[in-house]
Structure 1
């Protein structure tokens, strides 16, 4: 009996932790098709740390090679944005950046309001920005970035 109880005390925290770290799948098929029609084929996220109910493309009034997508949650607010552009991208005087790896590619993470993860993979430079402190942790941002396909 003691053995069963001690086993339960060990397993319950792992079960609770596993449930609280739930990631939500994101079907990027429609977005991928839209971008393909424009002649670009970047990788896109397949999961987020919360449910994404819709996305919105930001289309500026002028011609640009920078793509921006806003991902919205159940409450209608902007949760993440993704900026895609051709490399190289130069950054000057960035403070508080932390070097990270995303699927074997060098990148960096900047913590703060609007935490962001920056990396280059193939023909595209990606900037993933979180507008939620809870979902903007380095670990959650890297997990989201590593789901790109």
Structure 2
């Protein structure tokens, strides 16, 4: 009986702790430095609803003021992308749902390839999820609000 109780006291906190951690921290220091070298200083995500193991910068062969980053998950697949560009950005004929990101008006577009769009300071941000599970409006807003 003591063994069973001891096991329960050990396992229950571990299970609760494991189930309550639904966000994964992301260290954007290296990415921030790369972008700074190009003369831009946008805010970047600090948390994702999944583990991000690496990022890739998409650098087109021509000069542009649009910057894109792909965030890859543990299994090597693309989980999110982030596009940063100067405002204003115009959209035509889209079905959107208004949202607020850190006090800034934006909108959410339901997927496949769900995305959240907002402008803050000198930048317009587009965060896209390539997973139905992580592309919900709530998770997209949480991720967007982690930008620093």
Tell me the TM-score range normalised by the shorter chain. 0.7 to 0.9
In structure 2, the residue matched to 1:57 is: 57
Change (3 A) 1:29 1:108: same
Give structure 1 stretches of 5+ with no counterpart. Answer: 1-11
In structure 2, the residue matched to 1:107 is: 106
Aligned length: 135
In structure 2, the residue matched to 1:9 is: none
Q: What does residue range 49-88 of structure 1 map to in structure 2 within 5 Å? A: 49-88=49-88
The TM-score with structure 2 as length reference comes to 0.87
In structure 2, the residue matched to 1:98 is: 97
Change (3 A) 1:134 1:21: farther
1:125 and 2:137 aligned: no
SS of residue in 2 equivalent to 1:50 = coil
Give structure 2 stretches of 5+ with no counterpart. Answer: 1-11
Post-superposition offset of 1:93: 1.0
- Per-residue CA distance 1:54-83 (angstroms, 9 max, x = gap): 000000011100000000000000000000
Separation in 2 of the partners of 1:71 and 1:55? 4
Runs of 4+ in 1 over 3 A off after TM superposition: 15-18
Separation in 1 of the partners of 2:137 and 2:48? 13
The TM-score with structure 1 as length reference comes to 0.87
SS of residue in 2 equivalent to 1:94 = coil
Separation in 1 of the partners of 2:109 and 2:16? 29
1:142 and 2:141 aligned: yes
- Per-residue CA distance 1:7-56 (angstroms, 9 max, x = gap): xxxxx9xx859825610000000000000011100000000001000000
RMSD after superposition:
1.6
Post-superposition offset of 1:110: 0.4
